[in-house]
Structure 1
């Protein structure tokens, strides 16, 4: 694999890992605050599709 291609692959993997971590954090936040605020509201504010959150 060429150096540029390796850097692209590493960058892509890091971006995927970062997005996954962000989504996990959002879902954890919704889970933690779902008893205070509506799940629908939390999903809308955080930009998460309601179908992603399963309570």
Structure 2
């Protein structure tokens, strides 16, 4: 893959996931657990928002 940027930004389609990529179910669990650890009470709206943010 070639880059046209001194910052390493790809010049075309990217065929591999970036390092550190997490699937949406993992992202959802991480966010939910972080919010719970911070003392945030998760109701229906908050759970739906977490799922939406996780993709």
TM over 0.5: no
Q: Scaled by the length of structure 1, what TM-score is found?
A: 0.32
Structure holding more helix per residue: 1
Q: Scaled by the length of structure 2, what TM-score is found?
A: 0.32
